[in-house]
Amino acid sequence: MRYDGTMLMTEQLEACRAFYRDLLGVDSEPGAGWANFPLADGTFLALHTPWRPGMTTTGGSQVLLLRVDSLTAESARLTALGIECSEPHEIPGGAVVTLTDPDGRTIQLIERT
């Protein structure tokens, strides 16, 4: 078994599409009711509108973790695009910056040491 990708449910498809385009630095593949962002390692991050009752579209207690080479560079790039980032703070094995997507999901950028 191998990891293939992550799908996030949203009622704010266009706002989230723009947010994740800026965050990931890649355009999404077009789709009706969804957006798929192919990632360099062959995996993907997808956004989709709910297709059955009861699908949750808010952040809840999930955290999306994305590894970066430089928190300083990524924070500066995202801030220039209007995305608010926390100050970096140390964790075991590195440091993180926290941000929030339009649906309220928590995202942490991690620079490993």
CB 49 within 8 A of CB 9: yes
pLDDT digits (tens, 9 = 90+) for 60-113: 667 899 999 999 999 999 999 999 999 999 999 999 999 999 999 999 999 998
CA distance 73 to 1: 34
CATH code of the domain in which 104 resides: 3.10.180.10
The neighbour count for residue 108, using CB atoms within 10 Å, is: 15
pLDDT digits (tens, 9 = 90+) for 71-82: 999 999 999 999
Q: Which domain holds residue 100?
A: 5-112
Task: Compute CA 111 distance to the chain's CA centroid, rounded to the nearest angstrom.
Answer: 15
Tell me how many domains the chain contains: 1
